[in-house]
Structure 1
């Protein structure tokens, strides 16, 4: 079905800001072509648009649609990057177990038709303790062996790129944390347990309410490696609230211990990956001028 004229297929403001800032001219060109790409796939896959999801993601636009038989779905149009290029493969491998079900895909152009979830209701709508319990149950279902001959990036390779970038962002006030993060990464990679398929960007905001299951994950940046890496963002969820608590360091350590125990993981390995990812993200944020975010992430890393 052709798209209805009343539905504006314009990129949400957040998407336009982040892509232009992160990707420069290539990002602006992709944004300019996005409405036409959406119209093309609405017609090709015979979808009727309802609205563009707001505020949307940082590197993708989601159009809520109806399939030809009336089934609600979500048309996702995303930038193809090293982190996202195998998103379709991960979703196909999970086949709805713990994650949104993939219905159709054109991986070369970053277009997917997905099971529609409750885009306005994530785990962040729950009290923190309950959200962490639900998150643990979801991510446990995602940690499965990858298929033979898979094309997913390894954790060692992905973090080698991050480590190189981190080392290039050294500053006198960061030296001690950067040294610790890089040393931890070397030790963790050298003695890693049996690898599984990882979500890669797992946090409460990437787990939405569903109809066939209460909670399902979205937006994987898949790779293959040890489960502890996948919990690093979950440990720092609701970071502003955590930072405002009277005993933030003790609360952070409790989070690490509780998540490790709930999922039968080594506490020190989880602590190590959480610290590495926080330092890397904090140094990156400082490098692009997001001083508040960067300083908060580095403070969190120091608590670990």
Structure 2
């Protein structure tokens, strides 16, 4: 099996294990699904942390309004009384006005946050350093863990307008958000290797050869972004070591230039008549002055 190190720009994303006989069409489909899946997990985890603190989201017509505005407009959250967390809730106002403030009890908070941590670990970028590949099945399992935790805490389910539920049902609207810039549509995703785009009518072996026991870096690019930058000849650790050695050398040369001590000229090895004295046998001669 060949191991592919997937990057976006210079940032590592995950490792992917496949064979050189895989078609580029299939490879693109799997890679973009894992890439977007990791982003989805990140968004869900972020919202679930807010769910654990401030409860479900307000309906769109109430979202972001102050209490006085809600009262003045006579708006009502019709889900507030029906969407109740297991074990009850305590009020914890959402400072940004997105959620209704009905925070689950501590044990239910722990259920949500544990699922968040487990899901993050399952798709963490740290797996690259640990040489562990990521699969689409793992991404799906992580989303399943998050969905299960929400179901445990909210047996009646959270409101359909809550961003977490929309993420689970793939009806989320990311337009106008930073997240929309990160997600890549499958039809607009390209893979590049060694300055060459992997074309969909090819096999992976057309670019990597037939060696199944190799590890290669592939870069994800969105259509229209152009070719990604080349990989550095040295990795980050090697680059730091080279810079450190160069700095030490510069400091040593600087010290030698500033060192004006010429006492070494009195040393025996610095006497340019030393060889002549040895040949004439006039070394180590002591003179005694008579009285």
Q: What TM-score do the two structures reach when normalised by structure 2?
A: 0.22
Structure having the higher Rg: 2
Relative contact order, higher structure (CA 8 A, sep 6+): 2
